Amino acid sequence: MAKGMRDIKRQIKSVQNTKQITKAMEMIAASNLRKAQASAEAARPYAEKIREVVASIAAGSKGVKHPMLVTREVKKTGYLVITSDRGLAGGFNANLLRKVMNTIRANHKSSSEYAVFVIGRKGRDYFKKRNIEIIDEVTGLVDNVKFSDIKSIAASAVRNFEIGSYDELYLVYNQFVNALSQVPVEKKLLPLAQETTSTSAVTSYEYEPSPEGVLEVLLPKYAETIIYSAVLESKASEFGARMTAMGSATKNATKMISSLTLIYNRARQAAITQEISEIVAGANSQA
């Protein structure tokens, strides 16, 4: 009995230590979430303004032709998948990667029909284990992501579309709804044909040297900005998912400690009762 009580006490201590860790991780994730959410919201006005300018120029200049605005026959599709570098975030990565694989299996018969770009160690490892070729990857992103951290892969994904390596490009990431809800989404990034009709009121701009020249610069920057915004959304979603997961783990640890403490107290009470019974029995035998 004494040995069993020692085991229970050791288990209670172990769960208490785990609870301290999960509680600390929950608080850190909550702090990071506020910063990531602020960054995502701060990036939206710039993305919206550059979208407005692109749409205005494209709509006001019907003769403008650019590879990023042209819809062509789809023979190959590109996917830019945004995951996290770390786990302990519930179904954050698993749900997203399952969505990607379901899309690939449904739409493509062979690996020659799609290309994959990955941001995040979890996504990279997932695709490598399944022998899926990764065109480009970025891992080890800091919590406070800068545009320069993902510029290389964003530029690579856009450039490969322009040169015809694939005929459309999709962003797959977790869209941030709130701290408790993150939704895996698949968003068509290229071609940008929809931008020519997405603005109801066309703003008049003066530009030099020509619409083609302006779009040549703005369109890649716009696509890269959308990718950066998706990364910021994904980061906010990651912290929200981790905060929720660690909060649930902390609650479960609390319940487990209560349950183990009850078991320990019952075992201790049984041991005391047994000792009293042995003392009484010994005293009676001496009488």
Looking at residue 68, which CATH number applies to its domain? Answer: 3.40.1380.10
Q: What is the pLDDT of residues 86-136, one digit of tens each?
A: 988 989 999 999 999 999 999 999 999 999 999 999 999 999 999 999 999
Q: What is the mean pLDDT of residues 154-183?
A: 91
What integer pLDDT is reported at residue 59 of this predicted model? 67
Does residue 90 lie within any of the structural domains? yes
User: In terms of Cα–Cα distance, which of 171, 190, 180, 176 is closest to 80?
Assistant: 171
Residue 124 lies in a domain: yes
Residues 12, 1: Cα–Cα separation, whole Å: 17
Per-residue pLDDT at 16: 94
**Residue 156 counted as domain residue:** yes
Arithmetic mean of pLDDT, 244-263: 93
> What average pLDDT does the chain have?
86
Confidence check: pLDDT of 199 > 50: no
- The percent of residues in the chain predicted with pLDDT above 70, rounded, is 88
**Is position 99 within any domain?**
yes
In the chain, the largest separation of any two C-alpha atoms, in whole Å, equals: 116
| Higher pLDDT pick, 19 / 205 | 19
Is the Cβ–Cβ distance between 122 and 158 less than 8 Å? Answer: no
Q: For residue 244, what pLDDT is reported?
A: 93
In a domain, 37, yes or no: yes
Residue 78, domain member (yes or no): yes
CA torsion 83-85-88-91 (nearest 10°) is 10
| Structural domain contains residue 257 | no
Residue 258 belongs to some domain of the structure: no
Angle at 144 between CA 138 and CA 133, to 5 degrees: 15
- Please report the pLDDT score of residue 64 as a whole number: 64
25-47 per-position pLDDT tens digit: 999 999 999 999 888 888 878 87
Q: List pLDDT tens digits, range 221-247.
A: 888 989 999 999 999 999 999 999 999
Q: Which domain holds residue 47?
A: 26-244
What is the tally of structural domains in the chain?
1
